[in-house]
Amino acid sequence: MPVPGRPTLDGLEAKWSAAWERDGTYRFDRGAASERIFSIDTPPPTVSGSLHVGHVFSYTHTDLIARFQRMRGKEVFYPMGWDDNGLPTERRVQNYYGVRCDPSVRNDPDFEPPAQASEKEPLAISRPNFVELCLVLTERDEEAFEALWRTLGLSVDWSMTYTTIGELAQRISQRSFLGLL
């Protein structure tokens, strides 16, 4: 391969990101012996807008630890999750679409959100319509968050991504509460 006349970084991130994914470079081996496992439990970032430099600093530190432990021969359990449940999500949807949840409003199966949030009074919509908007917007935000983390080269196992509103997280939480009971 000839040396280019003018070196460039164009395409380098995409090339290596694809190689790491293809080769399973950061994939966790569930069959590893327990003494070889190094587990990282991070609170998932809230998916309620955009990532900021604080997120990047926080996860850069964690990623450094994950990479160091891999170099020491450890099998690193490092999943990524999204906190997409609760008040920040509701607030994001209210501000983004200019709506508010009103349980007294009847469900509209053909509901389409406003194209632009109104500066005036938020539009009252049914709880099912509001929940649907929450699911649509958080899914879009989660895709944007993942794309940014992948661009940064974060070494998490992307096959283990979870959401706090997902069925698995709900079952685990319910079992924990029942165990405490």
Beta-carbon count within 10 A of 165 CB: 18
pLDDT in tens, 128-145: 999 999 999 999 999 988
pTM of the model: 0.81
Which has the closest alpha carbon to 83: 75, 71, 74, 92? Answer: 92
pLDDT in tens, 16-68: 889 999 999 999 999 999 999 999 988 888 887 777 788 788 888 899 999 99
